[in-house]
Chains A and B, each alone.
Chain A
Amino acid sequence: MNALTEFLAMGGYAFYVWASYAAAFVLIGGIVLWSRYELNAARQRIFVRARRTERSR
């Protein structure tokens, strides 16, 4: 328990260290998830339209 508290305290720099990691995870993780979401959404939209076009021929 003590070791974990010590680790989380980061020698008194907890706010700066963890805030940095949090900001990085939010920004980089956010763009990764957003990119994947955009790909799925584009595939869904474009493929549905393409299939409709193909059927109407």
Chain B
Amino acid sequence: MSRSAWRLLGAIGVAVLGVAFFFVIVGVFGLPASMIALVLFIALTLAISRRPQPERRQP
């Protein structure tokens, strides 16, 4: 599979994960699930935010 196909697949997976996070945090599966999902979401954000980005001058 080409790189762009992998990238598309990954983007779709992330979108589905994002929708799932939104539905759980908004309380569809109850308060305990909502709180766990929120903690997980914040932890995931912090973990990914520490990832270094390559240096490039122009976008």
Binding between chains A and B: no
